[in-house]
Each structure stands twice: as C-alpha cells, then as structure tokens.
Structure 1
C-alpha cells in the first residue's frame, strides 16, 4: 500500500478525514487558524490603543518596529496555514489512530486538554530556550528591545518546520482529539498576547500565584542576570513554580529587553534566519563530527571543548545568557 493510501486509510479509520479536509490549505482554515484570524483584528485594535498611550516614549514604542512585528506575525501565520496541514497533521492523525483511550468531549476532558496543553507548552517553551535548534526559531520573538503588544506578534515563519508541534503529540496518543489540542493551544496564544505590555502592573496576589501575568512575562523577556530563561508558562505560572524556573519581577530592577547578541539586521528574512546561519556556521567549523552536531541540541551558549591543536573553542558568543 502506498504511503498516501495508508495515511488516507488511517484518517478514515480514526474519524479524522473531515478534519484533514478542513486543514488542507487549499480547502479551508482549521479551527486553530480560524481563532487566530478572528483574533488578529482585536490584536491590532489593542495595539493601536497602547500605541496612543506610549507613542511618545521611544523606549517603549517604535511605530516602525510595531509594523515590522505584525509583518513577522503575518509570515508566521502564512506558513502555519500553508504547511501545518501537510507536515504536522498527518503525524497527529497517526498518533490519534493508535490512541490509548477513547475520550469524549465534556467539561472534564476539556479541562484536562487545557492542563495538558499548558504542561506541554511549558516544556516546549523551556526547550526553545535551552536547545539551540529550537532557539534558532524562537530568538526572533525575544530580539526586540521593547515590550508591548506588538512584540507578541513577533514570531518566526520557520516554526512549523522547526518541530515545536512535536511536544503535543503525547496528548493525541492519550486520546485527546487533535482539534481540541489545536483549539486549546490557539486560545493559550491569544491569552499570551495580552501579557506583552508594560502598562499593567502587578495584579492581585492569587492571580500572580496561579496565572502568567504581564509582570511575570516581563521577567521572561528580560536579559538581566537572574531574569534570563525564567517564567516559561503560557496561561499558567504553576509549572514554573513546580519545576524551579519562576522568578518574580523585582521592583528595584526593571527588565532590560532583548537578547545579549542583537540580530545583525532588521530585515525580515535576516530576523527569521540569522540564528540558523550562526548555528550551521558553528557546525561547519573543523572538528569531530559528534562535537559538530552537538550544536543542534546543546544550549545556545554552549562552546565546544578547546581543540588540542589550536587551544581554542569553535563557538560564537552566547545569545540568550548573560555575558
């Protein structure tokens, strides 16, 4: 049986053929993309409101950068729309076909889907900072030196090819429908848009205890020593508290936003690809093959052991750790 026939058979047997037809880019949007399309005008309106509030402070807002951020977001949405149904969905269909449990959608399974997606998001996000291959896509989101609503739109068009979606496959294997997973993920990203701002201070204590807030997320975008690689949660901050990656915003130390090694250009293609270029350049440096490919999964700041011949290490300056 041809691979395409096998895939179609799996889709038919698992009841996911209608969903495949929806996510095929030449037919229609899937639910996740539809949520983003509906939310985008709201994002633009909220960003304009914020712009009017802070436009006179260049440290907080740059109109040209805000437009650039939305262009980066449009590139991200375009590649997701064109390729998610072709790259990610067949794998989800296979996992769901071999699911461990048959779960019906009800209040309990909807809640469990939310918790599961949040848990997977935490580990995906944490990995995106600590594994260089994933950081190569995520760095564009952190490379702005301003924190405002437009920063949330600053995404990488390569995300779908990068493989971050693999972190959610265990949910499909357990029996959570890929539609539910996609909807929960999209709603989480919509929530996260609203925590990219300096206009909201600390919220009541119980909210700060459970949920990711603007205060917590400002820490996440800071490049200050002590702020780097902290607060990875999406909607919830509880995973950071449980796994030791939580840091509260210090009223005596305002976050300095951006990465320690800024991108070489504001050209959109450069912003999307510059870290991949650096990664493959480091891998191309002479040395043993295993050491060269370690750049893919080692942290961004990792340097090769000193060469016995040259006495130097083949690696670049760290990008997301304090220098």
Structure 2
C-alpha cells in the first residue's frame, strides 16, 4: 500500500486531510475514496479543456448540463462516503473473514485482483442494463444525449443502496483483500472517465482489441438499434468479445446518445429517482403478486402477461432503445 501512504502524506502536507477531518470528523477516507479525491481535480481540468474545444457545438456540449453532471457525481460520492462504511464494508469484512485462501499482495495477486474486478464489473454492468432494479439506478448515466467527459460523472446517488457492490463479494470470499478490490475498482473508474469523449477517434488496432476505448464506449452509450446493450467492459473489452456483447463503432451509423423516453425533469432528485418511481408504479398495478414483483428482476422492457394469457410474455419497446 505504498502508493496510498504516499498519497496520504501529500494530502496531509497540503492540509486537505486536516480540512476533511474538520468538516467530517466521523468519516475516514479509505484507499478507494482517496483515489477519487485525488483524481477529481484532474477530471475537472480535463473536462474544462474539452469544454473549450467543443463548446461551440450544442450537440456535443451544454455547459449547464456539464455542471449538472458534476453535481450528480458529487451526490454519488457523498452517499458513498456517508453509507459505504455501514452498508457495504461490514459485508466485505464478513466475507473476507471466511475467505478460502490467504493471499498476500504481490505482483501476481495484484494482476489477479485487477482481472477479477474487471470480470465482476462486466457482469455487474451487464446486469445493470438487463435487470430493472439495477437499471433504475444506472439509467441516469445513460440519459444524457451528449457524450463528453462530464457524462462520466453522471452517476446515481442511490448506487450504494442499490446493491451493485454485491457483485464483488466473491473476490473477498476467495481471499482478495477488500482494500485491494476497492483500489482496483477505483482505478478502473478513473480510466473509464477518459473514454467518455468524442474527441478521440479510433486508437491503434491492438489497443482496440484489448482495451475499452472511446470508440467502444460511444457504442455503449448509443441508443441505435444494434448498439443497445453492447460493450459493457470497464478497462478491458475482452469479456465482451468472449461473451458475445461486443459491437464495433460504425462510422456510417454514428451513435445517438440517451434513452428513448427522456427523464421528466432535469432536477437532480428526479434524475436519481424517476425510474424507481416508474418501477414501483408498474408493480402497483393490479394483478397477481408474483407477476407484480417480477418487475424487479425482469429486463426494463418486460411487460406483465395479459390476464387472459399468463403463459406468454409480451414485450414492449425497451426503455433504452430507439423506437
């Protein structure tokens, strides 16, 4: 953990740790959160540079939306800081207590941690699109009709309550230290910030083959038919290639960003909660209890069977596709 110790020393010397302890003495920065604190000034600087490059094109940049996106990201980081320690961390500690193997940190286990986190991220991300409960939190990230660095900050403050962190628990059970898991996850998110842009076209073929790139991630944010629910990787794109969810960007079919049904408001709380409201409204409709609760784990486009034909599932237009 030499890198973490070095960062802590720098923050102590700068006075930031003292300020943090004065403002929130009941909170302790863990390594994962520390990475986000250190990276945020770089995110802002890069986003400002991009804004100056594309501010003339309203299809690519809206200054008010960019500020809103950073506010959404601040809400996400705030709930993580306030509640991760009492919701997620105890469960990780319990899993790690009953771990199958005692693993020490070295070059091999560091690489395995990275690969494991990337594998878990792929399935978490894929589930976030195909299970409505998780989509209710993730939709805010996809609801912008622009693709720029600020879009990466467009996160949901409900994530910690939504349970996405459960996907990484198997790593702790295997014996990977939760601190390592948190650091690998944080570094993955830092990397992913930089693939939310239209300024970088295709990278060399070997990079595009292995890594998630701006080109691949533009496809992921596209609502075009053929682009929906593709390219779920974090740092790596290899899982998408292995599991059949990879689609390359086609310059003849440029991505159209956003979701088919726009959010009803740009109010931050509405952006965070509107899909939960729709989900619970669907569940409240009359019908058999079993079919009402199935809305929680069915895909976003799932529609309850008609009462006269309970053996058939009728699809509706997906919430995140073109009509």
After superposition, where does 1:189-228 map in structure 2 within 5 Å?
189-228=189-228
Which residue of the partner structure matches residue 236 of structure 2?
Answer: 236
After superposition, where does 1:293-304 map in structure 2 within 5 Å?
293-304=293-304
Retained in 2: the 8 A contact 1:192–1:234? yes
Distance of 2:35 and 2:165 partners within structure 1: 17
Unpaired segments ≥5 residues, structure 1: 1-23
Distance of 1:316 and 1:77 partners within structure 2: 34
Residues 191-229 of structure 1: CA deviation (Å, up to 9, x unaligned): 000000000000000000000000000000000000000
Distance of 1:239 and 1:316 partners within structure 2: 29
Aligned pair count reads 299
Distance of 1:261 and 1:104 partners within structure 2: 48
Retained in 2: the 8 A contact 1:145–1:257? yes
Distance of 1:315 and 1:254 partners within structure 2: 27
Distance of 2:228 and 2:208 partners within structure 1: 19
Matched, 1:49 2:49: yes
Distance of 2:317 and 2:208 partners within structure 1: 35
Retained in 2: the 8 A contact 1:285–1:314? no
Retained in 2: the 8 A contact 1:146–1:258? yes
- Secondary structure class of the residue paired with 1:308: helix
- Secondary structure class of the residue paired with 2:308: coil
After superposition, where does 1:1-323 map in structure 2 within 5 Å?
26-308=26-308, 318-323=318-323
Distance of 1:165 and 1:212 partners within structure 2: 21
Retained in 1: the 8 A contact 2:302–2:314? no
Distance of 2:297 and 2:25 partners within structure 1: 31
Q: TM-score, normalised by structure 1?
A: 0.90
- Secondary structure class of the residue paired with 2:41: helix
Q: TM-score, normalised by structure 2?
A: 0.90
Distance 1:111 1:169, change over 3 A: same
Residues 10-65 of structure 1: CA deviation (Å, up to 9, x unaligned): xxxxxxxxxxxxxx981411110010011000000000000000000000000000
Distance of 1:242 and 1:170 partners within structure 2: 21
Deviation at 1:318, TM superposition (A): 3.0
Greater than 2 Å deviation, 4+ residue runs: 313-318
- Secondary structure class of the residue paired with 2:302: coil
Deviation at 1:321, TM superposition (A): 3.1
Residues 95-116 of structure 1: CA deviation (Å, up to 9, x unaligned): 0000000000000000000000
Distance 1:25 1:169, change over 3 A: farther
Retained in 1: the 8 A contact 2:219–2:231? yes
Distance of 2:216 and 2:317 partners within structure 1: 27
Retained in 1: the 8 A contact 2:27–2:81? no
Deviation at 1:89, TM superposition (A): 0.3
Deviation at 1:314, TM superposition (A): 10
- Secondary structure class of the residue paired with 2:122: helix
Retained in 2: the 8 A contact 1:25–1:83? no
CA-based RMSD of the aligned residues comes to 1.8
Deviation at 1:252, TM superposition (A): 0.5
Retained in 2: the 8 A contact 1:261–1:317? no
Deviation at 1:308, TM superposition (A): 2.2
